[in-house]
Amino acid sequence: MSNRRGEIIKGILLAVGAVGLITVSVALPGLPAAFAPFFKNKRYTKQQVKRSLRKLEKNKLISVKYKDDKIELRITKGGREKVLLYNLETLRIPSPKKWDGKFRIVIFDIPQQFKKNSSYFSKKLKDLGFYKLQKSVWAYPYPCEDEIDFLKEIYLVRPFVRMITAEEIDVKQDLLKKFNILF
Stronger pLDDT, 159 or 79, i.e. the higher one? 159
Sequence-distant (6+) residues with CB within 8 A of 114 are: 156, 157, 160
Residue 167 to residue 66: CA distance in whole angstroms: 57
Q: What is the pLDDT of residues 65-84, one digit of tens each?
A: 888 878 888 888 888 888 88
Cα distances (Å, whole numbers) of residue 8 to 38, 93, 110, 124 = 8, 26, 37, 26
- Residues 119, 85, single domain; the answer is no
Among 60, 89, 118, residue at a domain's last position: 89
Among 89, 118, 150, residue at a domain's last position: 89
pLDDT band of 86, cuts 50, 70, 90: confident
User: How far does CA 11 lie from the centroid of its chain?
Assistant: 14
- Residues 82, 107, single domain; the answer is no
Q: What is the pLDDT of residues 23-63, one digit of tens each?
A: 777 664 566 777 777 776 577 777 888 888 889 899 998 88
Give the per-residue pLDDT at 169.
Answer: 96
Structural domain range at position 44: 3-89
Among 89, 122, 152, residue at a domain's last position: 89
Give the per-residue pLDDT at 1.
Answer: 47
- Residues 140, 167, single domain; the answer is yes
Q: Is the pLDDT of residue 5 over 70?
A: no
Domain membership flag for residue 173: yes
Give the per-residue pLDDT at 4.
Answer: 64
